[in-house]
Structure 1
Amino acid sequence: MRIAMANDHAGFALKTEIAAQLRGLGHEVVDFGTHDENACDLPDVVYPAALALSRGEVDRAIFVDGVGYGSAMIANKVPRVFAAVCQDPFCAELSRSHSATTALCLGGKIIGSALALEIVRVWLTTEPLTDEKYRRRVDKVVAIDARHVGDATPGPTAV
């Protein structure tokens, strides 16, 4: 599986550990940065990674920032990207099985590496439920996304 990764300075160390785990499991990591602990602006790294996911250039994405919410807010603005913040394996499992998330957001200041690695493992190995009830719910979210988010063509930068 090709997995996009992006992080800010607060998520650098945890992203590095997760990327090593993913590579060890045979996944290809496409690293959008940042590549050190110097302060940076999260949209500069999460947005391009989310666009790659939206365009099908990667299969899934994992974003690591201080608490996870900044990454989720950015990623969920991009069409066909469905991101969830998960702080434990149970939430990771439900985000995939019930909601078919395609991006996982983690908080490097919130959880330690052992827990994060387990969350990633569960999220990667859980498939969406296919019974009618869950498929119907996911389809409704996908329809809302199509109506309101638009396409994955970058627009002008806000001033």
Structure 2
Amino acid sequence: MKIVLASDHAGVELKKEIIDSLKAMGHEVKDLGPYSADPVDLSDYVYPAALSVAKKEADRGIFIDGVGYGSAMIANRVYGIDAVVCQDPFCAKLARQHNDSNVLCLGGKIIGPAIALEIVKVWMTTDFLAQEKYIRRVKKVKAITDKHLKKLDELN
């Protein structure tokens, strides 16, 4: 799978470990930065990464900031992105099984590398449960997206 990663300064170190883990699992990885712990604005990195997933240039995205919520807020404003914040493997499993999420957001200041790597492993290896109730629920979320967000090809 092609995975795009992005972070802010708070997520740089954890991102490096996640990249190594993803490569070891056989995934193709693209890091959109930043590459140092110098202060940056999160949206400068997460927004282009979210667009990469939305345009199908990457299959999934993993974004890391201080607590994960900033990344999710930015990413979920892009049509075609279903970003989740996960702080444990159980949430990661359900985020894939029940919601078919395509972006995982993590908090580099609140979870350590061991739990983060387990979250990534679970999220990357869990499939969507294509059962009627989950399909129906995901379709309802997509209907809200269609009502309130512009498709990428409708943007100037």
Instruction: Pick the TM interval, shorter chain.
Output: over 0.9
Partner of residue 131, structure 1: 131
Moved over 6 A (4+): none
Q: Provide the identity percentage.
A: 56
1:37 aligns with 2:37: yes
Deviation at 1:152, TM superposition (A): 2.2
User: Structure 1: which 5+ runs fail to align?
Assistant: none
Within 1, Cα distance between the matches of 2:131 and 2:111? 33
Deviation at 1:154, TM superposition (A): 9.5
Within 2, Cα distance between the matches of 1:143 and 1:3? 26
SS in 2 for 1:4: strand
1:22 aligns with 2:27: no
- Deviation per residue, 1:97-134 (Å, 9 max, x gap): 01110000000000000000000000001111111011
Within 2, Cα distance between the matches of 1:33 and 1:152? 23
TM-score, normalised to structure 1, is 0.95
TM-score, normalised to structure 2, is 0.97
Within 1, Cα distance between the matches of 2:5 and 2:107? 14
One-letter code of the match for 1:57?
Answer: E
Structure 1 residues 73-82 or 140-149, which shifts more? 140-149
Partner of residue 110, structure 1: 110
Q: How many residues align?
A: 156
Deviation at 1:148, TM superposition (A): 1.0
Partner of residue 100, structure 2: 100
One-letter code of the match for 2:55?
Answer: R
Partner of residue 77, structure 1: 77
Within 2, Cα distance between the matches of 1:154 and 1:107? 32
Structure 1 residues 20-29 or 64-73, which shifts more? 20-29
- Deviation per residue, 1:68-104 (Å, 9 max, x gap): 0000000000000000000000000011101110000
One-letter code of the match for 1:61?
Answer: G
User: Structure 2: which 5+ runs fail to align?
Assistant: none
Within 2, Cα distance between the matches of 1:39 and 1:51? 22
Q: CA RMSD in A?
A: 1.3
One-letter code of the match for 1:70?
Answer: G
SS in 2 for 1:121: helix
